[in-house]
Amino acid sequence: MIEPSSLIACTLADGVFVGPFVAIAHGVCVGAHTRIQSHSLIREYVEIGSNCFIGHGVVFVGNGFASGELSQKRHAVVGNNVSIGSNATILPVRICDGCVIGAGAVLTKDALTRGIYAGNPARLLRSLG
């Protein structure tokens, strides 16, 4: 971890890199050998897999509600080997293993097909097989 950063009751596996000015909230789990670049914000209970790259200024918007029920919170779940470009915004969605999320993308729906997603709202541009 490069200071100053704010890590609050989160779990970081071996080999995780956290850049400066990163805020990681309570209950976040980050897998081994993941890199989180500067100025990123990861809200409560997000799960990030191993060998991921989180670019500069990525924001995980937290605590959405599933089915409109206040009692059932959703959070983002990022698979392994995922790359998220700078300034992307990730809502409470699931991202499958091996996805690439383009810089500046706003991911509003689950990314369940391994591929490249970009745009606002982000959409699948190309499958990666």
- What does the radius of gyration of the chain's CA atoms come to, in whole angstroms? 14
Helix (H, G, I), strand (E, B) or coil at 73: strand
Q: What is the pLDDT of residues 89-111, one digit of tens each?
A: 999 999 999 999 999 999 999 99
- 75: how many CB neighbours lie within 10 A of its CB? 21
Just list the catalytic residues. Answer: 56
Q: 100: which strand partners? A: 83, 116
pLDDT band at 2 (very low <50, low <70, confident <90, very high): confident
Choosing among 2.160.10.10, 3.40.50.300, 3.40.190.10, 3.40.50.2000, the CATH entry for 6-127 is 2.160.10.10
Q: What is the pLDDT of residues 37-92, one digit of tens each?
A: 999 999 999 999 999 999 999 999 976 555 555 545 678 999 999 999 999 999 99
- Locate the domains of the chain by residue range: 6-127
Bridge-based pairing of strands 89-90 and 47-48 is: unpaired
Q: Which residue has the higher pLDDT, 129 or 24?
A: 24
Distance of CA 12 to the CA centre of its chain: 14
